[in-house]
Amino acid sequence: MWGCGALLGAPTRWRLWRKVLVACGRGWSAASPHSASADPSRVRALVYGHHGDPAKVVELKKLELAAVGGSDVHVKMLAAPINPSDINMIQGNYGLLPKLPAVGGNEGVGQVVAVGSSVTGVKPGDWVIPANAGLGTWRTEAVFSEEALIGVPSDIPLQSAATLGVNPCTAYRMLTDFEQLRPGDCVIQNASNSGVGQAVIQIAAARGLRTINVVRDRPDIQKLTDRLKSLGAEHVLTEEELRKHEMKHLFKDMPQPRLALNCVGGKSSTELLRHLAPGGTMVTYGGMAKQPVVASVSQLIFKDLKLRGFWLSQWKKDHSPAQFKELILTLCGLIGRGQLTAPACSELPLQDYQRALEASMRPFVSSKQILTMC
């Protein structure tokens, strides 16, 4: 099931979401920055007290809402996705782990309800997203410090805003930072139906780059192929097709890729390396197969291939908040021009989190699970 990404067109989805937002916003008041916690029991959050299977350790709890200090912002969360990194964090298998107990969720969008007296960057009514991982977005509302948030335009689709801060940023940086690509150059990637993969396809198309997109075979492969090609994918291949001798004919009509993006590892990453142009780079940003990346000696010596890694959290540490803000606004520009859309998604209310978690870990699911907070 493709979920809302395929059942409704973007304009229709957005009109429906505007109605939802109006309903969610009724009764909000920004008159007093210290009046946010009139009803502490209204705050609901998905909390885990120890690491393990998300289906077993995540619980829906009521939390108290902290008073708003001078540099704080009271935020009503609107929507938050479930990403693979969220699952890994709950399992304890991630490079950044919050102090327990913790609220799940690293990404999402909320609307400012009230601000402290010294807050200057955002105002009531603005939309905001997390500046860094670990904020805990799977909750109905919270009080955050101003520096933990980044304002985004409120005229972009809600699903685009909710899924803006992780996957599109990763896609943009990998397409920008490792090879000097020019229009007509080729990029090859695996896990092409993932959130990052769909963003890569669209950002590459906006730049005039050609893409070879590898996916796992599945019963609805033609439906997936059509979906990715509608985003701008030039070629969509299964892992099995990538290994065939006939692949050499593909490069009669297009250049060999100079950049490979690997989110799988194992045999899949080995195949990406095999098709890279001499001097090319493979960037690994995930390991879905939980198998090591294997490169032959001949590929490294005679083709001078480069193996790199990318982690958005590390990129943020190495760059200023202003540079991340610039990246976000660049992506918002692509969204505004219709060159970048949210991944196919399925929406579930916060109280149905068990279904959402289960669906997010199910194989061959091409829709991202988004928790809505109303």
**Which of 129, 125, 72, 78 has its CA nearest to residue 106?**
129
With a CB cutoff of 8 Å and minimum separation 6, the contacts of 108 are 77, 78, 79, 80, 81, 129, 130, 137, 138, 162
The position carrying tokens 């299964």 is 238
Q: How far apart are CA 102 and CA 206, in angstroms?
A: 38
**Which of 235, 177, 170 has its CA nearest to residue 205?**
235
- Give, to the nearest 10 degrees, the angle between helix 221-231 and helix 195-206: 40
Q: What are phi and psi of 80, to 5 degrees?
A: -150, 130
Q: How far apart are CA 371 and CA 294, in angstroms?
A: 37
149: enclosing H helix or E strand: strand 149-152
Q: How far apart are CA 197 and CA 167, in angstroms?
A: 8
Length in residues, the chain: 374
Task: Tell me whether strands 127-130 and 109-115 are parallel, antiparallel or unpaired.
Answer: antiparallel
Annotated catalytic residue within 94, 172, 285, 353? 94
Q: How far apart are CA 185 and CA 203, in angstroms?
A: 13
Q: How many beta carbons lie within 10 A of that of residue 220, not counting itself? A: 13
Q: What is the DSSP string of 26-70?
A: TT---S-TT-TTS-GGGEEEEEESS-S-HHHHEEEEEEPPPP--T
48, 57 in Cβ contact below 8 A?
A: yes
Burial of 197 (0-12, 13-18, 19+ CB in 10 A): buried
Residue 172 designated active-site: no
Where in the sequence numbering do the catalytic residues fall? 94
